[in-house]
Structure 1
């Protein structure tokens, strides 16, 4: 069994998927992304799975893209047809709940936003620091957040790159439930169990109708985003940001 993800059916109808790279802050590389995609594909075809819960091992949910793998090998954590972490562009058709402890930063926050609901501990650090590394948050957050929060608030969050209190995201409706530290996974599993107890056909149809109302799942939005962001990912600033992270120093950006 791989050590990058851990999959357990802990409760009837509920599949708990855990990113298991605590030594790398559960950062997403190509291996993890592929494993998550295969897990979600398998869950789609399983009658035993009605709801999924996604969490991270150790002290946090996910720090996002593995910048060391990006700096050394150009890994982007993308899965063809599914996007970042095997979920950003095409989440599972079955309800998916993110359980955030510790931190969900950059692509880790985008991974949570690709889920249908978020349960987070009140002390978790959440944010989109990509601009501080010469990168763009193009894993779905810039498409999804304006559907849930006022645009000026999203602008501040994304352009400053600072962390945002979980309580603030809860007030705006981005986070469904806030727990005491250490309680996010248990609360998410309880929520998932309550959903799994409902009629599976009705549950699936309800999610399908709601999901189709989202601009974030429309191909045109992703295509336009790629046109704008791909030159940034290919820039020297992007490489400098990743190198600076790896070398634990401040980046020197030149706008090229």
Structure 2
């Protein structure tokens, strides 16, 4: 008897030479990130880091509309976070704090919002489609960009440019992101993945131990961590914990689910 169709995995992996392509495969949900996706991403990055034959990773999203819309707010509303039990130190999506020496390129094939922008911030290089957008709209939902966005944006962009993103929640175009140095290249949509893979091949052609050591030194990685960020992660977690307990956060997520403007009470 024919077997019922199995749902497609939410994360796909494909190896080409010394490059591992990881694809977030939830296009119907704009590649939003829930616990299942985070677990599979953490597994894929762990496997890449443990395999000496993998010299570069490319991370992208399925489809041509969204790289990732960030955290799945419906999952968040029911108490599910995209943080892997037992690997909490990897941070959101099993990646933003993942202690990787292997370089990672984000191939941003569409909207990268909230956690999607934070994935791009955590990557070493970014190739973006012409129609891609970047932004951290968490303040519109009563939350903050707690997966590194609030302090990595001012680190990677001029402060006033970063603060506009953080405080307004409004997005930035790929062209603006290129102008301010948030991305390395902007190309036609059809060229995003080929361009990222070609860039990965350039990296993979170099001596892998030298590349990994260079990344660790450039980012200040010591014993699998970035000590300069430790205090910011602690403060970010504390602030997010308080926000998640607020009436405004509950209202923001409820309003999102009900497709209506939120009514803030500052409580």
Structure 2-normalised TM-score?
0.91
Aligned residues: 254
Matches within 5 A, 1:18-57: 18-57=23-62
Q: Which runs of 5+ in 2 are unaligned?
A: 1-6
Q: Which residue of 2 aligns with 1:60?
A: 66
Return the alpha-carbon distance in structure 2 between the equivalents of residues 128 and 225 of structure 1: 15
Return the alpha-carbon distance in structure 1 between the equivalents of residues 237 and 61 of structure 2: 28
Q: Which residue of 2 aligns with 1:136?
A: 144
Query: 1:138·1:225 contact (CA, 8 Å) conserved in 2?
Result: yes
Q: Which deviations, in whole Å up to 9, do the C-alpha atoms of 1:142-191 show, x marking residues without a partner? A: 22111121211111111111110111111221101110122211111110
Q: Which residue of 2 aligns with 1:6?
A: 12
SS at match of 1:219: helix
- Higher RCO (CA 8 Å, separation ≥ 6 residues): 1
Q: Which residue of 1 aligns with 2:98?
A: 90
Return the alpha-carbon distance in structure 2 between the equivalents of residues 91 and 100 of structure 1: 22
Q: CA deviation at 1:217?
A: 5.9
RMSD: 1.7
Range with bigger deviation, 145-154 or 15-24: 145-154
SS at match of 2:182: coil
Structure 1-normalised TM-score?
0.94
Q: Which residue of 1 aligns with 2:239?
A: 228
Q: Which residue of 2 aligns with 1:172?
A: 180
Query: 1:216·1:222 contact (CA, 8 Å) conserved in 2?
Result: no
Query: 2:142·2:248 contact (CA, 8 Å) conserved in 1?
Result: yes
